[in-house]
Amino acid sequence: MRNRKWGLYVAGIALLALFPVVVGNPYYIHLAETILIYAILLFGLDIVVGYTGEVSLGHAALFGIGSYTAGIFFFKLGVPLVLVNVAASIVVTAAFGALLALPALRVTGPYLAMVTLAFGTIVQILINEMTFLTEGPLGIKVPKPSLFGHKLSEFEFFWFVAALMVIALVAVTRILRSHLGRAFQALRDSPVACDCMGVSVYRYKVYAFVISAGLAGLAGCLYTYSEEYISPNTYNFELTILFLLAVIMGGRKTRSGPLLGALIVVTLPSLLSDIHLFRGIATGAAILGVVLAGALLARKQKTARDVAIPVASVIGMAVFSYFLENIVDWRLTIFGFMTLFVVYYLQDGIVGYIRGTLEKFRPRQLAPLAAWEANADASRAWAPPAKAGEATGNLLKADAILMQFGGLKALNEVDLRVARGAIHGLIGPNGSGKSTMMNVLTGIYQPTRGGVMFEGKSIVGNTPSEIALAGIARTFQNVQLFGEMTVTENVLVGLHHTFKSNLFDVVFHTRRYRDEERAAHQRAAGILHFIGLADLAHEEARNLPYGKQRLLEIGRALGLDPRLLLLDEPAAGLTAPDITELIEIIRKIRDHGITVILIEHHMDVVMTISDIVTVLDFGQKIAEEAPAHVRADPKVIEAYLGSGAADAAHGAAAA
Amino acid sequence: MLTISNLHAAYGKVEVLHGISLEVPEGRVVTLIGSNGAGKTTTMRAISGMIKPVSGTVTLGGKDITGLDSYRISRAGLAHSPEGRRVFATMTVNDNLLLGAFPRLTRARAKGDVAADLERAMELFPRLKERRTQLAGTLSGGEQQMLAMARATMLNPDVILLDEPSMGLAPILVEEVFRIIRNLKERNVTMLLVEQFAAAALQVADYGYVLENGRIAVSGPSAKLRDDPAVKAAYLGG
């Protein structure tokens, strides 16, 4: 397997090296060069679109900024050194990427897309109007560069581009496989959980945009030298759409997808410029469509209704092509139809579709567990014991917490003292303020009034990720896993704080990074062993059954090495035998010195393991005593426990 | 009323159900019990069309509904009160309930008297009556569960699937939920019930199936399952 991969790499590099020699025709070399340049940009765009899940309509502008940085450095500042200009393009464009990401603090989804659209428009106008810098509509001429005093020929420049594309490919792959890439994916799947794992959603969104913009800058710079002439109207809205189309059509979250997408969007305009060629392609597509549909119908995999639209549209296009006099005017229309087609029928892109089809014939085997993963022992789950001595007293002190939503006091002057090393139960009717309390303690809500001290320091006003890093981890009532990531990766996000490596370490795989990655994987394997999910390590989290998802949330929270763990209804939906297992796990967590706050409606859980139980009702504390006393407290029985029949339901489950 | 035979279902590449067969007779309550990951919720989802079964058949009142889109299945007369409630948070309680009756406004189901049924649902779930103009998202967890169940009844369904109706509820509300299930049963509503409190579920159900790793391990009348030592040890907590 490994050999085949290396063979593929060598073949790819050989193809790039030999391409200009074999082809020879400057037109095709230039076309291939453009594909490689676009691919560099698309790798970056995929980080934003595929991984963080945001849509950027500003990448044509970033591309333009990269191009013009190189152009201005050469033409206005007279810097002849191509490597300096490459670096300048990357740095300047990355800075603009940071600027573009700033609004991400407040807006997300379609609104962020609007912001990037506005950014694109503004940049294009500025390039056009700032004639003192950019020469405006006249454009800038830049000859092919020299490298170490040697002027590059067409061939040599192709190799230069190819080499940078390969470097970008390797760098992006390494970034995305590292803790950075995991953070990007995590913030898309569940921003709130991401923050609560100590990974600041905002900061990593900015990182993603900066890296993405840096790649766009590199691509822009190379484009300047490749075209030898730049002018403002290249970097328009159409180009932005083309980039997005390429990523989505090729297949997001892959490297081969952007390469394929680049190939398509670069060659397509040439293919569409010749009416005879287009007629040929359209006819071919129609025949292929009919044959495929026929085969699918014959094998009863699709119904006539499913295939009617695609078949009608390919035939329609073929017929239409023979009525056309001139294809050029229709190019945009055809792009539009292709986008529609891709979005509707190939949501995972061409690469995703091919993978899916291959898997049908050759079912995917989950990656086998490495020997050390299978033999991992649970003792590895725990961080080395903290040097701080066995302090006693209160770990957490919340004073007179008032949390007001409009006129509703969800928490009304509630005090909470959590003793170090205790399991502290928190119960109360639905809507009594338990989850609100959790959200106040983890910084998701800012209390209207009141203070929270953790280990003697106030944490009110800190962000959720700061509080997480200070040592408070949590699970969620409505499970918030990173669904598209594997079980191991979910825990690795919890272990994000163990990484000190920066971008440089990640790209160059320095010793520090390799050590940290190995250590984190070992910890993750240990944690999975502890919570009993070791044999599901490589399964996607969203495929786990509900109860296992809840366990995984606990595992992920343990990765944070918390001193305080907040469990929000960990037993919800669990049947009796699973509950016994859960109780065992919670006990062990406490035995490793982690204090636990436990919200739970299963009385058999709360009453067996809590040292003390706080009862909330309508945002107020109505009791705080040992479990046995709580059970007998008439106020608690009336508000929460109920009299006879509840005991029948619970008693029967517990007895 | 509801018959499932040899049902296979998968998430992605992982097959979760390996051939489930079960039957829910008219007017009866049947419960599915099993540990986590046994496939209870998956069975429910495969029945109501939220995932497409790989193979096997689901028939409702003699009509094959296997693999239909969920909305068609609900028009055919099957209501699903899903795990985690899923109420329409930004709509009022009243509107949530009326949406439950939506299929009755199409030709697929008899219209009947929607207004009268709405009042009947309010009688059955008195907590909702007090809150009928409140937005569903502002209800407490227990009230949302009541709403999800009430919404299911508004279809005038032939069968209701109840998935974990007591999950995340305070003990006092668990009591209430079971009271309502018994109430529905007295009105001859046919139900398939999945419950975390297996013992309580077997109290109210007529018949039970025990699911283990995507297969039916044991089945029988509830009373018999309650006394089965193996079932007791594994699912009823001793």
Q: What is the ipTM of this complex?
A: 0.77
pLDDT digits (tens, 9 = 90+) for A543-560: 888 888 999 999 999 999
The stretch B154-182 carries a mean pLDDT of 90
**DSSP percent split of chain B into helix, strand, coil, nearest 5:** 40, 25, 35
Give me the residue from A430, A578, A641 closest to B142, CB to CB: A430
Q: Select the more confidently predicted residue: A109 or A621.
A: A621
Q: Is A577 in contact with B33 (Cβ distance < 8 A)?
A: no
Q: List % helix, strand, coil for chain A (3-state, nearest 5).
A: 65, 10, 25
CA B159 – CA A471 distance, rounded (Å) = 49
Residue B67 is predicted with a pLDDT of 87
Q: With an 8 Å Cβ cutoff, is A364 touching chain B? A: yes
Apex A96 CA angle, A83 and A147, nearest 5: 5
- A570-584 confidence digits (pLDDT tens): 998 787 878 888 999
| Residue to substitute from B41, B144, B164, B196, interface A, most A β-carbons within 10 A | B196
Is residue A355 within 8 angstroms of chain B, CB to CB? Answer: no
Residue A644 confidence (pLDDT) above 90: no
Q: What is the DSSP string of A356-395?
A: HHHHHHSPPPPPPPPHHHHT--GGGGSPPPPSS----SEE
Pick among A359, A601, A605, A636 to test the B interface (most B CBs inside 10 A): A601
Three-state DSSP state, A652: helix
Q: What is the pLDDT of residue A547?
A: 82
Nearest residue in chain A measured CA to CA from B34: A575
Predicted TM-score (pTM) of the model is 0.85
Reported as type and span, the H/E element at residue A73 is helix A59-75
What part of A 558-577 touches B (C-beta under 8 Å)?
569, 572-577
State the nearest Cα–Cα gap between B183 and chain A, in angstroms: 15
Give the residue on B whose Cα is nearest the Cα of A543: B11
Instruction: Find the closest chain B residue to A647 by CA distance.
Output: B171
Burial class of A3 by CB neighbour count within 10 A (0 to 12, 13 to 18, 19+): exposed
Q: What is the pLDDT of residue A369?
A: 61
Q: Nearest chain B Cα to A616, which residue?
A: B170
Enumerate the residues of chain B whose CB falls inside 8 A of the CB of residue A544. 37
- Chain B, nearest residue to A638 by Cα: B172
Query: Does any CB of chain A come closer than 8 Å to the CB of residue B205?
Result: no
pLDDT digits (tens, 9 = 90+) for A583-636: 999 999 999 999 999 999 988 899 999 999 999 998 999 999 999 999 888 989
Say which CATH topology domain B2-235 has.
Answer: Rossmann fold (3.40.50)
* Contact list, A429 vs chain B (CB under 8 Å): 140, 142, 170, 172-173
State the pLDDT at residue A655.
34
Does the CB of B43 have a partner CB in chain A at under 8 Å?
Answer: no
Least confident window among A21-30, A289-298, B18-27: A289-298
Q: Is B116 on the interface with A (CB under 8 A)?
A: no
Q: Is the pLDDT of residue B121 over 60?
A: yes
pLDDT of residue A649 exceeding 60:
no
